[in-house]
Amino acid sequence: MCRILLMKEPNGRNCLANGEKGAWCRLYFEEEFLNEVKEKNDIVDVVSSYVNLKRSGNRYIGLCPFHSEKTPSFFVNPGMQLYHCFGCGAGGTVIHFIEHIENLDFVEAVKFLAQRAGIPLPEEKDEVSEFTRLKRNIREMNKIAGRTYFRCLNSETGRGALSYLRGRGLSDDTIKTYGLGYAPNEWNFMYRTLKQNGFSDEDIVKSGLCLMKNGRIFDFFRDRVIFPVMDLRGNVIAFGGRVMGDGLPKYLNTGETPIFSKRQNLFSLNLAKNTSEDYMILAEGYMDVIALYQAGFQNAVASLGTAFCEDHSRLLKRFTNRVIISFDSDGAGQNATRKAVDILKKDGLQVRILKYSGAKDPDELIKKFGPEAYRTAIASSLSGVDYELSTIYPKGGFSDDEERIEYTKKAIGILKNIYNKLELEVYAKKVAEITKISYDSILAQVKQAQKHKKLETPVDIAEMAMLRKKSVSQSLLKLVVENPSYFPKIREKIKAEHFREELHKKIYEIFCELTDASQKPDVAMIIGKLNREEAKTASEIFMEKEPFLDFHIYLDSLLQKIENEAETVSFSDDDRDDMLKLLEYTKKLKQRNDKNDKKDS
């Protein structure tokens, strides 16, 4: 038997879905091998490497790593070996989890877990999916490109680029640590290199290293210093290129590829994650990060040619609870700082902001005043609110009452977002001291502003999701899987075609097939045969609690309803009324049974 969900290609041949759009996985793993991988990678142990889990009854709960939240809605069930987030819907087995959090396809996730558990990998079949083949080729091309650019930097061709980097204060050791390189000023240097290594034009263009225009292929990076971008495992996944003069654009970055997403990677995180410090420094660009690393601050990272976003924040949260923002001091840097603060605080991270005078960025500060000046700036870093208040304060102080009033209005606009009483009191007193306006007046103005602000009612996502409408088909599937001894009775009455939802039909068919093959199907085994998107929905079905529902009574009521109505029953998630009637019937049946039990006793 093979991987996961056996499907048919248009030509009728069997192949396996790997969960990627338009891609087919035909790399076969024996079922026995997959089971061993899952058995030796307990889902609680694996997830705990990424999420701070706390036990809650027979399950574990934590903040979801896949979306921003303050109230935990991410559950892990060790008995079922499943996870599910009732906020964003992510869910599945341990393999699905690694696929999602490490941005891997199915084959790569299985290999990742096998290596984690020390399980030897089986020999691969000759046929692999087109998508998997492309990803492997791009990784190999990036490896070749990185080495080639590095060699060029250290050759006669790259003499000017090497002089530029040394002029920026970088040592040869730092250049080597980051694998910095040089792209020659030629139209097809890298294209020729990759062609000589046997890669096709189509794959070369998809790698992002070359572009096609008017039927011709030419290099993306030309006459630029090259910054390789690594994933967490140290693989080259992209590049950044900087001009050495006044040309534009100043930086070029690899676009989105099958192995690289700007939103899901941070420059130098592969090095910063190993730091002994309990915080991360968030800088703006490659040179800032590298300069910080060389100065002894090896916990610095930067986003890659895109604004800092929620995905970056969740990525940082995997490695730290504290972030110090060290962006440029200009207007654009201040705006970027405000946005980053909001994003990081929503994820529950502690945030501080560096303010330094006499320099526009970390690189310049260290060059002018040395590493100690930067260390001092870290020690005196500001909270998000203090930073906001500092940016609106006039440089020369208040010249008249009008400026004082204007500052106070802006400060109140900042304070109105604070709902913690203790925190609000602290900052209201600070504003009162700065403006020489009474604390009571400041506080009264803030509370008045808060009244006019539209407040969002906090919602416990997990609780709301568990209490939402259930479909008959979902409940029936739970009953089938959790009570296999009842299956023969159910199978007499219910066929796969009774389910309108394709996924529900598929789950039922998988259960039937496994049962017919004399296997004892459990939830993890069934969900393991679904791709990642299907697993998200399926995990929700089996992880949700059924309030006020006794499965045995429910089964009897359901089958009795079918027999009484003597008609073909179809189940759909839209059947809210039917579900409510069945639940009511269940309660009545239970009450009747309780009365009978009392009579018998």
pLDDT the model gives residue 197? 97
Residues 239 and 149 in one domain: yes
Number of domains in the chain: 5
Question: For 479-531, how does the pLDDT look when each residue is reduced to its tens digit (9 = 90+)?
Answer: 777 777 777 777 877 778 777 788 888 888 888 888 887 777 778 788 888 88
The residue from 210, 242, 259 where one domain ends is 259
Range of the domain at 226: 130-259
Residues 139, 249, single domain; the answer is yes
Q: Which of 341, 373, 390 is the last residue of a domain?
A: 390
The predicted structure's pLDDT at residue 210: 98
pLDDT per residue as tens digits for the range 370-405:
999 999 999 999 999 999 999 999 988 999 999 999
User: Is 447 within the bounds of a domain?
Assistant: yes
Say whether both 101 and 158 belong to one domain.
no
Q: Is 125 part of a structural domain of the chain?
A: no
Residue 464 lies in a domain: no
Per residue, the 3-state secondary structure of 40-109, as one string, reads CCCHHHHHHCCCCCEEECCEEEECCCCCCCCCCCEEEECCCCEEEECCCCCEECHHHHHHHHCCCCHHHH
Q: What is the pLDDT of residues 289-348, one digit of tens each?
A: 999 999 999 999 999 978 899 999 989 988 898 999 999 988 899 999 999 999 998 888
pLDDT in the model for residue 123:
67
Residue 142 has a pLDDT of 98
φ and ψ of 278, to 5 deg: -100, 20
**Same structural domain for residues 352 and 340?**
yes
Does some domain include residue 124? Answer: no
Residue 226, C-beta contacts closer than 8 angstroms, at least 6 positions apart: 149, 153, 180, 181, 182, 183, 239, 240, 241
Residue 250 and residue 297 in one domain: no
252 secondary structure, DSSP code: E
pLDDT computed for residue 559 by the predictor: 52
Asked if residue 474 and residue 418 are part of one domain, the reply reads no
Q: What is the pLDDT of residue 124?
A: 59
Where does a domain end: 363, 390, 417?
390
Residues 549 and 565 reside in one and the same domain:
yes
**Among the listed residues 295, 313, 280, the one whose alpha carbon sits nearest the alpha carbon of residue 67:** 313
Burial class of residue 399, CB neighbours in 10 A (0-12, 13-18, 19+): exposed
96, 149: one domain = no
Domain membership flag for residue 123: no
Q: Residue 122 domain-assigned?
A: no
In a domain, 76, yes or no: yes
Whether residue 497 is contained in a domain is answered as yes
Sites in the chain below the pLDDT cut of 70: 1-28, 123-128, 453-472, 544-601
